[in-house]
């Protein structure tokens, strides 16, 4: 009797030995089949699965039980394993495979080196540089290097020994955790903000809040809000607040006044940072409640240490004068990157004591080198010329809007007064190359010609006025030599301050006069109308040209008779 349709439906084929049997027997058959035919299982399985397109993948040799996709633990793909190999597990063979995988992943046009059976694919030098470029970009992580390198401890804070040396007041206060309200005054990038953060970290351990405001964006309401919170913190948690105000000079008088009572009563400890002379930019009342700490431009040594720390963190090696960069055609997956020691020193000099400029300059140079065509050919070495290219020198040396503007013009004025032509030309250059307005300099020369040379050489004034006009006509850069000529003339000229000091005495006399100023004597007054004549204006005046002999006549008010200004 032919099997019924129903019974034939219940017949299944063993996936191991291909024997057909009733479905009810398959499990017990499989157990015995697998026990007796372990070695043939794989080949069978393969044949079956490929032949029949079965979903059953079967087990690998040596497996103790059949495995079905649902229960099969996915085996990690080989390249994933190798991306994070355990060092202790790494056999030589494994390491060779690691190379291969890594290299295949990164190198498309790579060289293939055959060493016996070991076929290894290595990236070319330019591919290595690309890899490094990517790694470097990851290191920068979209953040300026200067920010990434901001030190968190005094240990990494370089320079500024005058205020932070062992026996200094600030160091002692920091140790004693007794930070008073301070104004940190110093040029850009010398470490004011960084120092404020270090102070904050230092005091954070002691139940202190640290709040930051930037005077460029904060409003008076923001200040009030911070103060309100500070009051609550003291009341509720006995927690002190340190308020750091960056660029405090940008706050107007009312905003600065808002701090006053709260600094006074200790609700907040204020740390202000400013690049401007606080005597002019910070309220006297506020100033008298804060200590002013003067930070200086960072020395070249401090800058070198800061740059070295950054270079180390980027994994760039410093090449001494006699050292040669190792050729990166080896199989290293990360070819070294180098910077010449000389390039670092140059950068430390050029950034003019501004660590932010120095670190940005380093970052720019590294990024430019990575993108440069010759880097692809010759490898990654940062040289002095790359650093110079990366830096806009003029923007470093001179701050047109800030105090440097006044410092330099004062240095020029004093050098001309001292008849030092070389120094005068130097300060002139510092200003002009830094982008100073030539008319600002020319106006000062006009003033100098009168104030310091005056009647000793009246032509100096003519020279200076002419220089001013010439600068006005032709502008920079052509007018630079006109200013240089005038500066040299004024520096060489004989000096006299007779006019200047005489006029100062006049001002003094007027300022010190008590009571109403004396009227102009009648004989000196003009009398254009009849009424004025009738009132005695011009009466008795002696018109000098009418006299051949010296005229005896008073020109000062009677109260000042005999006063000498000259
Ligand atoms: N003394 C220092 N030691 C180490 N790194 C420093 C030092 N000073 C500045 N830096 C570095 O320079 C960067 C800029 O410094 P910071 O912001 O403290 O300067 P600043 O004086 O507040 O400048 P600005 O007046 O322009 O705001 C910091 O992020 C840090 O990386």
190 CA distance to ligand 1 centroid (A)?
5
Burial of residue 460 (CB within 10 Å: 0-12, 13-18, 19+) is buried
Q: How far is the CA of 320 from the centre of ligand 1 (A)?
A: 27
Name the residue of 144, 160, 194, 274 whose CB sits within 8 Å of the most ligand 1 atoms, as the mutation to test its pocket: 194
Q: In testing the pocket of ligand 1, which one of 190, 215, 297, 362 has its CB within 8 Å of the most ligand atoms?
A: 190
Q: Under 8 Å CB-to-CB from 328, ≥6 apart: which residues?
A: 125, 128, 335, 336, 379
ipTM value for the complex? 0.98
Tokens of 34: 């697998």
pLDDT at 507: 96
- Over pLDDT 70: what percentage of the chain? 70
Residue from 144, 148, 189 to probe ligand 1 pocket by mutation (most atoms less than 8 Å from CB): 189
Helix (H) or strand (E) holding 22: strand 20-22
Give all domains of the chain, ordered by start, each with its CATH number.
13-61 (no CATH), 160-294 (3.40.50.300), 300-396 (1.10.8.60), 398-496 (1.20.272.10), 507-560 (no CATH)
* Measured CA angle at 83 (ends 81, 85), to 5 deg: 65
Atom of ligand 1 nearest to the CA of 146: 31
- CA 150 to centroid of ligand 1, rounded, Å: 7
CA 186 to ligand 1: nearest atom? 21
pLDDT at 388: 77
* Cα–Cα distance, 54 to 73 (Å, whole number): 19
User: Distance between CA 44 and CA 57 in Å, rounded?
Assistant: 11
Query: Is 51's pLDDT higher than 50?
Result: no
Rounded to whole angstroms, the Cα distance separating 494 from 514 reads: 38
Please count the other Cβ atoms lying within 10 Å of the Cβ belonging to residue 233. 19
pLDDT reported for residue 508: 95
How much distance in Å is there from the Cα of 427 to the middle of ligand 1?
Answer: 27
Q: Tell me, in angstroms, the distance from the centre of ligand 1 to residue 192's CA.
A: 6
**If residue 291 lies in a helix (H) or strand (E), which one and from where to where?**
strand 291-294
Rounded Cα–Cα distance for residues 302 and 448 (Å): 39
CA–CA dist 174, 342 (Å, integer): 37
Question: Do 392 and 350 touch, CB atoms closer than 8 A?
Answer: no
CA of 305 to the centre of ligand 1 (A): 13
Q: What are phi and psi of 411, to 5 degrees?
A: -65, -40
Whether 358 has a pLDDT exceeding 70, the answer reads yes
Which numbered atom of ligand 1 lies nearest the CA of 158? 3
Question: Ligand 1 atom closest to Cα of 295?
Answer: 21
Structure tokens at 287: 């100033």
Residue 520 per-residue DSSP state: P
CA 515 to chain centroid: 58
pLDDT for residue 253: 80
Cα 248 to averaged position of ligand 1 atoms, centre (Å) = 16
pLDDT at 266 over 70: yes
Q: Band of the pLDDT at 234, cuts 50, 70, 90?
A: confident
Q: Is the pLDDT of residue 271 over 70?
A: yes
Write the residue with the smallest CA distance to atom 17 of ligand 1.
Answer: 193
Residue 354: pLDDT above 70? yes
Residue 277's pLDDT is 84
Cβ distance 77 to 70 under 8 Å?
A: no
**Mean pLDDT throughout 24-41?**
60
φ/ψ (deg, to 5) at 523: -65, -20
The residue ranking higher by pLDDT, 528 or 390, is 528
Which atom of ligand 1 lies nearest, measured to the CA of 274?
25
471/215 Cα distance (integer angstroms): 37
Give the three-class secondary structure for 214: strand
> How far does the centroid of ligand 1 lie from the alpha carbon of residue 186, in Å?
11
> Can you tell me whether residue 77 is helix, strand or coil?
coil
Contact 317, 262 (CB under 8 A): no
Q: How far apart are CA 156 and CA 165, in angstroms?
A: 13
Check residue 109 and report its DSSP letter: S
315: left (phi over 0), alpha (psi -120 to 50) or beta: left
Q: And the tokens for 541?
A: 């005046």
Give the pLDDT score at 392: 58
Going from the Cα of 199 to the center of ligand 1, the distance in angstroms, rounded, reads 14
Backbone angles phi, psi at 138, to 5 degrees: -65, -40
Among 314, 347, 355, the mutation site with the greatest number of ligand 1 atoms within 8 A of its Cβ is 355
Cα(146) to centroid(ligand 1), Å? 8
pLDDT at 128: 56
Tokens 């950034």 locate to 351
Q: DSSP for 319-347?
A: EPTT--PPPTTSS-SS--EEEEHHHHHHH
Q: Choose the residue to mutate in 193, 303, 311, 313 for probing ligand 1, maximizing ligand atoms within 8 Å of C-beta.
A: 193
* CA 149–ligand 1 middle distance (angstroms): 9
191 Cα–ligand 1 center, Å:
3
Rounded to whole angstroms, what are the CA distances from 490 to 302, 420, 497, 520? 39, 10, 14, 38
- Model confidence pLDDT, tens digit, residues 472-505: 888 878 899 999 999 999 999 999 999 999 999 9
By the 10 Å C-beta count (0-12 exposed, 13-18 middle, 19+ buried), 441 is classed as buried
Per the model's pLDDT, the better-predicted residue between 485 and 367 turns out to be 485
pLDDT band at 103 (very low <50, low <70, confident <90, very high): very low
Going by C-alpha positions, the residue among 270, 311, 258, 306 that lies closest to residue 182 is 270
Q: In terms of Cα–Cα distance, which of 332, 418, 357, 282 is closest to 132?
A: 332
Q: In angstroms, what is the span from residue 153 Cα to ligand 1's centroid?
A: 13
Which amino acid residue places its CA nearest to atom 7 of ligand 1? Answer: 191
Nearest CA to 218 among 190, 193, 240, 247? 247
Identify which has the larger pLDDT, 16 or 46. 16
Mean pLDDT of 415-430: 96
Calculate how far, in angstroms, residue 338's C-alpha sits from the geometric centre of ligand 1: 25
Mean pLDDT over each residue of the chain, to the nearest integer: 76
Tokens of 124: 């070319």
Check pLDDT > 90 for residue 35: no
State the pLDDT at residue 115.
37
Mean pLDDT along residues 83-93 = 32
Number of C-beta neighbours around residue 496 at 10 A: 16
* Bigger pLDDT: 403 vs 333: 403
Chain segment 61-87, per-residue pLDDT in tens: 333 333 333 333 333 333 323 223 333
pLDDT (0 to 100) of residue 504: 96
> Whose CA is closest to atom 8 on ligand 1?
191
Task: Identify the pLDDT of residue 439.
Answer: 92
pLDDT, residue 449, reads 98
Helices (runs of H) and strands (runs of E) counted in the chain: 27, 12
Helices (H), 69-151: 78-83, 92-106, 125-140, 145-148
**36-45, 150-159, 476-485: which has the minimum mean pLDDT?**
36-45
| Pocket (CB within 6 angstroms of ligand 1) | 146-147, 149-151, 157-160, 186, 188-194, 273, 275, 298, 306, 355-356, 359
Pairing of β 291-294 and β 268-274: unpaired
Mutate to test the pocket of ligand 1, among 196, 356, 361 (most ligand atoms within 8 A of CB): 356
Which phi and psi angles does 270 have, rounded to 5°?
-95, 130
Most confident range, picked from 115-119, 182-186, 396-400, 430-434 = 182-186
**Which atom of ligand 1 lies closest to the CA of 310?**
31
Which atom of ligand 1 is found nearest the CA of 184? 21
Rounded to an integer, the average pLDDT of 35-45 is 43
- Give distance in angstroms: CA of 193 to centre of ligand 1: 6
DSSP state of 122: E
Residue 452 has pLDDT above 90, yes or no: yes
Q: Is the pLDDT of residue 426 over 70?
A: yes
Give the whole-number percent of the chain exceeding pLDDT 90. 36
pLDDT average, residue stretch 416-435? 93
Residue 294 neighbours by CB under 8 Å, 6+ apart: 162, 163, 185, 186
Q: From CA 560, how far away is CA 17, in angstroms rounded? A: 135
pLDDT of residue 384 exceeding 90, the answer is no
Higher pLDDT, 496 or 216: 496
């Amino acid at each position: 009797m032919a099997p019924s349709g129903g019974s034939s439906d219940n017949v299944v084929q063993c996936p191991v030995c291909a024997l057909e049997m009733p479905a009810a027997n398959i499990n017990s058959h499989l157990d015995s089949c697998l026990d007796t035919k372990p070695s043939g299982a794989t080949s069978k399985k393969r044949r079956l699965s490929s032949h029949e397109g079965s979903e059953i993948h079967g087990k690998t040799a040596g497996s103790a039980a059949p495995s079905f996709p649902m229960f099969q633990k996915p085996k990690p793909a080989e390249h994933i394993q190798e991306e994070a190999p355990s060092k202790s597990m790494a056999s030589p063979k494994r390491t060779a495979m690691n190379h291969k995988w890594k290299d295949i992943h990164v190198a498309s046009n790579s060289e293939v080196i055959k060493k016996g059976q070991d076929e290894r694919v290595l990236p070319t030098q330019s591919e290595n540089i690309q890899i490094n470029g990517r790694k470097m970009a990851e290191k920068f992580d979209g953040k300026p290097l200067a920010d990434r390198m901001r030190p968190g401890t005094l240990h990494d804070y370089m320079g500024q020994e005058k205020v932070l040396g062992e026996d200094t007041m600030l160091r002692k206060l920091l140790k004693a955790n007794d930070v008073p309200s301070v104004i940190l005054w110093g040029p850009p990038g010398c470490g004011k903000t960084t120092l404020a953060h270090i102070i904050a970290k230092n005091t954070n351990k002691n139940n202190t809040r640290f709040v930051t405001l930037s005077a460029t964006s904060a409003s008076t309401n923001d200040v009030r809000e911070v103060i309100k919170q500070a009051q609550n913190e003291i009341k509720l948690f006995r927690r002190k607040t340190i308020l750091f105000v960056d660029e405090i000079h940008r706050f107007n008088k009312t905003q600065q006044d808002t701090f006053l009572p709260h600094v006074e009563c200790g609700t907040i400890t204020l740390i202000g940072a400013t690049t401007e002379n606080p005597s002019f930019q910070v309220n006297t009342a506020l100033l008298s409640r804060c200590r002013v700490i003067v930070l200086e431009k960072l020395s070249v040594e401090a800058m070198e240490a800061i740059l070295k720390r950054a270079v180390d963190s980027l994994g760039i090696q410093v090449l001494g004068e006699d050292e040669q960069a190792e050729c990166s055609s080896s199989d290293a997956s990360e070819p070294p990157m180098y910077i010449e020691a000389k390039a670092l020193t140059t950068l430390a000099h050029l950034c003019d004591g501004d660590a932010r400029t120095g670190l940005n300059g380093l970052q720019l140079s590294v990024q430019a080198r990575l993108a440069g065509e010759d880097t692809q050919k010759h490898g990654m070495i940062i040289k002095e010329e790359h650093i110079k290219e990366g830096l806009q020198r003029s923007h470093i040396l001179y701050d047109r809007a800030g105090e440097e503007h006044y410092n330099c013009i004062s240095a020029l004025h004093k050098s001309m007064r001292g008849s030092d032509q070389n120094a005068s030309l130097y300060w002139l250059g510092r200003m002009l190359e830094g982008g100073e307005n030539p008319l600002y300099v020319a106006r000062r020369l006009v003033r100098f010609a009168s104030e310091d040379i005056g009647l000793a050489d009246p032509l100096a004034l003519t020279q200076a006025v002419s220089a001013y006009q010439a600068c006005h006509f032709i502008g920079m850069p052509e007018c630079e030599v006109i200013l240089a000529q005038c500066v040299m003339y004024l520096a060489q000229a004989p000096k006299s301050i007779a006019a200047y000091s005489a006029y100062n005495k006049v001002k003094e006399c007027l300022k010190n006069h008590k009571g109403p100023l004396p009227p102009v004597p009648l004989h000196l007054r003009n009398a254009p109308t009849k009424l004025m004549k009738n009132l005695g204006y011009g009466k008795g005046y002696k018109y000098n040209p009418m006299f051949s002999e010296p005229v005896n006549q008073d020109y000062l008010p009677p109260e000042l008779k005999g006063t000498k200004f000259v």
